[in-house]
Amino acid sequence: MANAKKVGQLIKKARTEAGLTQEQLARKVRDCSASDVGRAERGEKELTAEQLKQVAKATGVTQKSLLDAAKGRSSVSVKPPAGANTSSMQVTATEKKLVQLYRAADSQTKKEVMATLKGETVETLVGSLIGSAFSALTGKKELPEDEED
């Protein structure tokens, strides 16, 4: 059960860094309840290899890191994007969250994010954010035009 404890610690760390509750994670893992997730995190229950794969997918860590922990080896790593250089890299929780949000975004949002990170469209992004906030607050689709006196 020593390995189960280590796996449990890694599951909890991955789950919390992904911003998921035990209940939310359980919904993403077949044949697993929130109680099962809690027991696994405490090292009281060993999840199947398939369940570990689903936990890894849901939390953004590699399946290998969880399976290695189950075999007594350690280290959690973030999955590299397809086609990326797979050399080892440490990332912060914030960087991991940014990767997860980017992966979940639609293609237009990804283009805007990349342009912003390159410093190409800060004004456009800020204007878009202000316009979205205005629409949400007022129910109107467009900002009023500036009036000249």
Q: How far is it, in rounded angstroms, from Cα 2 to Cα 63?
A: 19
CB of 112 closer than 8 Å to CB of 121: yes
- Alpha helices by DSSP H, 42-143: 49-59, 63-70, 93-104, 107-117, 122-138
Q: What does the DSSP 8-state code read for residue 92?
A: -
Residue 17 is assigned to a structural domain of this protein: yes
At residue 102, the pLDDT reads: 77
User: Does the predicted model carry a pTM greater than 0.85?
Assistant: no
Q: How far is it, in rounded angstroms, from Cα 146 to Cα 84?
A: 46
Residues 7 and 60 in one domain: yes
The tally of domains found in the chain comes to 2
CA distances from 62 to 7, 65, 66, 99, 120 (A): 13, 5, 7, 14, 33
The tens digit of pLDDT for each residue in 28-63 reads: 999 999 999 999 999 999 888 899 889 988 888 887
Domain at 17, CATH number: 1.10.260.40
Residue-number span of the structural domain to which 19 is assigned: 2-70
Q: Return the bridge partners of 78, or none.
A: 61
| Interior angle at CA 67, CA 37 and CA 98, nearest 5 | 70
At residue 32, the pLDDT reads: 92
The tens digit of pLDDT for each residue in 73-113 reads: 654 455 555 555 544 556 677 777 777 777 777 888 888 87
Residue 132 is assigned to a structural domain of this protein: yes
At residue 35, the pLDDT reads: 95
